[in-house]
Amino acid sequence: MDELKKQICRNVDDNRAMILELAEEIWNNPETGYQEFETALLVKKFFEKLNLPFAGNIAVTGSKAVLDTGKPGPSIALLGELDALYLPSHEAADKKSGAVHVCGHHLQIASLLGAAAGLAETKIKDELCGKIIFITVPSEEFGMDESRTALKRDGKIEFFGGKQEMISRGIFDDIDVAIMVHSGNEYHYPVSYNGFVAKKIVFKGKAAHAGVSPESGINALYAANMALNAINAQRETFCDEDSVRVHGIIINGGDAVNIIPDTIEMEVQIRARTISAIRDAAAKVDRSARAGAMAMGAAIEIETVPGYMPLRNNDTIAGIYEKNLKMLHSEACLKKTGHRASSTDMGDLSCIIPVLHAYSCGVEGKFHSCDFHVVDMSKACIEPAKLMAMTAVDLLKIGKISSDYQLMNREEYLENIRNFAVKQNFNYQE
C-alpha cells in the first residue's frame, strides 16, 4: 500500500466516531424518497466540516461535493443513497411514518462521507489530476406514493428514481466513472441486474347495491381479479434466461362491502434482464388487464411509468476495487456473482458511464425484510469508506475506463426511458 492510501485509511480511522455517529443518526431518522430533508441537512453539515465545495437541493434532496485537484483529468463519482423504505412491521420502524432503513442506505451515506473524510486531508491535489465528486442521491427505492406523485404532477421531478432525475438534469454529464458500495453479508458484485417498468391500472365499473340489485352494477374488483389470474397464467410463457418477475398489489379495493366496487386501482412492476424482455412481459400484462376488463364489461386505464434500466457492472473497476480489498484483507476476494433479479437506478447510470455496484459485509437478514439488521458497523461503514476512496485514487491514475457494451449519451438515454411512458384507455362498458 502506498503512502497516499495509508493516509486515506488513517484519516478514515481518525473520523471513525463521526462516521458511525452519522450512520446511527440517519438510522434513527429514516425518510422515504424525495423526502430526505433531515438526512440532506446532516450531509451538508458533514461536508461543510470538510471544507469541500458543496451544492445541495439537487433533484429535491440530493447533493454533491467536489474534491478538485485543479488539474485536468478524469472525474470519478462516489455515490450514496439517502432514502429509507416503508416497512412499519419492522421493530425499528419510525412510529409515525413507518419508514426504516432495511436496505442499509444509512450505511451507504456514512461510507460515502467517510470516503470524503479519508480523501480531503491528503496530498491528492499534489500527486494526481482530475476530480472526485461525492454525490448523495434521493429516492432509489422506487415508489408511486402520493408525495412523489405530487412532485411529478407539480413539475418538480420527471422521474421517480433519483439517479434518473439527476441524469436528466445533467449532473452526470462530466462524470467518467461511478462507484457505490451497498451493504451486504459478503464481498461481491453481481454481473447484472434486472430493469423494470411500473404500471398503475385503474378498473372502472358501476356501483350498485350488492344485495338488492347487484345485476345492475359492473364489478371492478372482479375485473381486477380476472386480470391477476390472466397475468399468473402468463408466467409459463416467460423465458427462464430473461429472469422475468411480475408482482402487483391492489391499492384501492372498494369502498364498502355492500356496494359493488366501481373503481379498483392496482400497481404492478414488470422486471426482466433486457429491455426487449421487459417490453414483451409488459405487453402480456396489458393484454391480461384488458381481458379482465373486457370480461366484466368494465373500462380500464393503464398508465405505464418508466422504472429502472438493466444494470451491467464493469469488470475492470471491480478488479481495481478487489486489489484494494486485498490490501485491507489479504485473503479476501470480491466474488463475481450471477445475474440478480432485483433492480436499481444504478442501472440507468450504467447506460451512460461505466459503473460498479458492489456489496460489502456487516449486515445480516434479507433486504427489505423484518430480519434485516447490522452486525458489524466497521465492515458496514468503515471498510467501504476506505475502499471507495482508494479505488477512486487508482481511477484518477488510470484515467479512461472502457465499457464492453455501447454506452448512450444523455439525450439517447432520455429518449429510451421516456419511450416507456404510455397511458392507454379502453372502454368495454356496454
Task: For residue 49, tell me if it sits in a domain.
Answer: yes
Q: What is the pLDDT of residues 96-116, one digit of tens each?
A: 999 999 999 999 999 999 999
CB 358 within 8 A of CB 318: yes
3-state helix, strand, coil in the chain (%, to 5): 40, 25, 35
User: Given CA atoms 230, 236, 239, 241 in this order, what sign does their dihedral have?
Assistant: positive
* CATH code: domain of residue 206: 3.30.70.360
Please check whether residues 133 and 177 belong to one and the same domain.
yes
pLDDT at 126 over 90: no
Q: For residue 109, which of 52, 166, 44 has the smallest C-alpha distance?
A: 44
What is the C-alpha to C-alpha distance for residues 379 and 114, in angstroms, rounded to an integer? 13
Query: Scanning the structure block, which residue is given the C-alpha cell 368495454?
Result: 428
Please check whether residues 126 and 240 belong to one and the same domain.
no
Tell me what the mean pLDDT of segment 21-45 comes to: 97
DSSP per-residue string spanning 241-285:
GGT-EEEEEEEE--S-TTB---EEEEEEEEEESSHHHHHHHHHHH
Please check whether residues 314 and 369 belong to one and the same domain.
yes
Please check whether residues 219 and 151 belong to one and the same domain.
no
Q: Which pLDDT value is given to residue 124?
A: 85
Tell me what the mean pLDDT of segment 310-336 comes to: 94
* CATH code: domain of residue 80: 3.40.630.10
Please check whether residues 187 and 79 belong to one and the same domain.
yes
Task: For residue 112, tell me if it sits in a domain.
Answer: yes
Round the average pLDDT of the chain to a whole number and report it: 95
What is the C-alpha to C-alpha distance for residues 224 and 295, in angstroms, rounded to an integer? 10
Q: Which pLDDT value is given to residue 49?
A: 94
Task: For residue 272, tell me if it sits in a domain.
Answer: yes
Tell me what the mean pLDDT of segment 180-200 comes to: 96
What is the C-alpha to C-alpha distance for residues 50 and 374, in angstroms, rounded to an integer? 27
Q: Which pLDDT value is given to residue 125?
A: 82
Residue range of the domain that includes 294: 195-308+415-427
Please check whether residues 236 and 290 belong to one and the same domain.
yes
Please check whether residues 50 and 126 belong to one and the same domain.
yes
Task: For residue 404, tell me if it sits in a domain.
Answer: no
Task: For residue 10, tell me if it sits in a domain.
Answer: yes
Task: For residue 54, tell me if it sits in a domain.
Answer: yes
**Amino acid letter, 41:** L
Please measure the distance between the N-terminal and C-terminal CA atoms of the chain and give it in whole angstroms: 76
Please check whether residues 177 and 238 belong to one and the same domain.
no
Task: For residue 229, tell me if it sits in a domain.
Answer: yes
Q: How far is CA 299 from CA 14, 237, 250, 418, 421, in A?
A: 63, 27, 17, 26, 20
Tell me what the mean pLDDT of segment 254-281 comes to: 96
pLDDT at 264 over 90: yes
Query: Scanning the structure block, which residue is given the C-alpha cell 461510507?
Result: 111
Please check whether residues 76 and 14 belong to one and the same domain.
yes
Task: For residue 248, tell me if it sits in a domain.
Answer: yes
Q: Report the domain count for the chain.
A: 2
Q: Which pLDDT value is given to residue 430?
A: 74
Please check whether residues 326 and 252 belong to one and the same domain.
no
CB 12 within 8 A of CB 117: yes
Q: Which pLDDT value is given to residue 403?
A: 86
Strand partners, 271: 196, 245
Angle ∠(10,13,18) on CA atoms, nearest 5:
135
Q: What is the pLDDT of residues 356-398, one digit of tens each?
A: 999 999 999 999 999 999 999 999 999 999 999 999 999 999 9
Please check whether residues 53 and 186 belong to one and the same domain.
yes
Tell me what the mean pLDDT of segment 411-426 comes to: 96
Please check whether residues 140 and 208 belong to one and the same domain.
no
Tell me what the mean pLDDT of segment 66-72 comes to: 94
In this prediction, residue 121 has a pLDDT band, given cuts at 50, 70 and 90, of: confident
